[in-house]
Amino acid sequence: MAALGAAAAATGAGSLLKSTEALAMTDEEILAEALYAPRGTKGRLTRLGSFDVESRQEFTKGFRSMHRQQIRAAANEALDRLLEREGIDPTMKMDMPTLLSLVDADPAINISSHTWIANQRLTWKNLQDYFHSNEDAYLSEMEATDRKGPGSLELKPRMQLPEHVSHQIHIQPGGYVGDPFAGHMYHYGTNSFYLGGRGHNDQDQIHRSVANNLPLPKDGKVRRILDYGCGIGQFSLALKERFPDAEVWGLDIGGPMIRYGHMRASHLKYDVNFVQRLAEDNGFPDGYFDLVTSYIAHHEMPADVSRQVIAEVQRTTRPGAIYYPIDFITGGSEMIPRYMFGRWWDHRWNNERWSFEYHAMDFAAEIEARGFNKAADPKSVIRGFGIRHYIRA
């Protein structure tokens, strides 16, 4: 108990002992809380463990916002001037090699590209260095909640992972499967993705807004929900919040992602079940789900895997069920030069490995070919994404 007192004092968590809730907690639970929130929380977001790492993270978020609003705008204007100088209509399509040869020598465009990727790398390095330098505390924290409810966690550490899941999407070190703190890094790193026109997501507000706009099956029954490609389970928790009586499953191949997601759900008292499985082979019975969702997962998988996933959703949904995959609008790879360069750059330097395959596929047609009828969509609350609403025939 002396060690516990020292930990509480060191982390500023002594006030936990004064609350009614804390009086009912075991020593182990109090210690877990102290490790989990050494500097308190901002709503449902646990603060990073030191002012130093938090301030560096705030710097990279601020730079990203400034870049989006100013540096990228200047680069876009430079590209338009470049095309005008060459007598190329900026609203017309052109081939990629020609575009890249023009862009390669322009300093404004390259400054924009290099500063963005440098900031992205700094974001990940800041987080990776911090969590690995405190790995004993953070691993112990996850171990303390692996078997703790109210939900459940299924990990398969000996599972043979397919090659396509190993890529370091967003250049996140280790990707979603190769670092024990993938979930931690993803959570704090991707918070900055919502800056600059999309608001903030520190409280999962984007995920919760989408969940609150979900349509219901015609019979109104939502008893079992699957959220595949769930990552750290932000959308899974939002679904449980919207449908508190439903059985909610968050599925992802990234073991470290769902391990962090389960820990977070346990601390927030959400009864969500997390499983480490392939979305294209989810292991659930035929016709099991009333609602199946995914949140911007398909552009991070090969096109042929997307088709397999859609087939698996068809198998595991009942007639009348809702299928609600959220991702970018697709249907062709040709576009105006500005957007074409942006997609190439994101693919090449931000390691969006499967982006071109996904965008070249007619995602909506693939879904409709698998026994789903497209319905009128509710209003999108994520600018730039297509929120699709399908009903299982």
Confidence of residue 1 (pLDDT cuts 50, 70, 90): very low
Domains and CATH numbers, the chain: 185-392 (3.40.50.150)
pTM here is 0.88
Q: Identify whether the C-beta of residue 303 lies closer than 8 Å to the C-beta of residue 331.
A: no
**Model pLDDT, residue 13:** 31
Q: Identify whether the C-beta of residue 176 lies closer than 8 Å to the C-beta of residue 229.
A: no
Question: Is 90 exceeded by the pLDDT of residue 9?
Answer: no
**Model pLDDT, residue 385:** 54
**Model pLDDT, residue 12:** 32
Eight-class DSSP state of 380:
P
Least confidently predicted of 81-95, 101-115, 133-147, 333-347:
333-347
**Model pLDDT, residue 281:** 97
Confidence of residue 352 (pLDDT cuts 50, 70, 90): very high
Question: Rounded mean pLDDT of 330-357?
Answer: 85
Question: Is 90 exceeded by the pLDDT of residue 313?
Answer: yes
d(CA 345, CA 339): 10
Confidence of residue 332 (pLDDT cuts 50, 70, 90): low
d(CA 48, CA 53): 7
Confidence of residue 18 (pLDDT cuts 50, 70, 90): very low
> Tokens 């994404």 identify what position?
385
Question: Is 70 exceeded by the pLDDT of residue 393?
Answer: no
Q: Identify whether the C-beta of residue 302 lies closer than 8 Å to the C-beta of residue 357.
A: yes
- Condensed to tens digits (0 to 9), the pLDDT of residues 86-122 reads 999 988 888 888 899 989 889 999 999 999 999 999 9
Long-range contacts of 147-151 (CB under 8 A, 24+ apart): 148/266, 149/266, 149/271, 150/266, 150/269, 150/270, 150/271, 151/262, 151/265, 151/266, 151/270, 151/271, 151/272, 151/273, 151/274
- Condensed to tens digits (0 to 9), the pLDDT of residues 69-88 reads 899 999 999 999 999 999 99
CA 274 to chain centre: 15
Q: Identify whether the C-beta of residue 274 lies closer than 8 Å to the C-beta of residue 258.
A: yes
Question: Is 60 exceeded by the pLDDT of residue 235?
Answer: yes
Question: Rounded mean pLDDT of 58-75?
Answer: 92
- Condensed to tens digits (0 to 9), the pLDDT of residues 188-227 reads 999 988 875 456 899 999 999 999 988 899 999 999 999 9
E strand spans, 126-267: 152-154, 224-228, 247-252
Confidence of residue 11 (pLDDT cuts 50, 70, 90): very low
Confidence of residue 130 (pLDDT cuts 50, 70, 90): very high
CA atoms within 13 A on the CB side of 365: 9
> Tokens 């999309």 identify what position?
198
Question: Is 60 exceeded by the pLDDT of residue 142?
Answer: yes
**Model pLDDT, residue 35:** 59
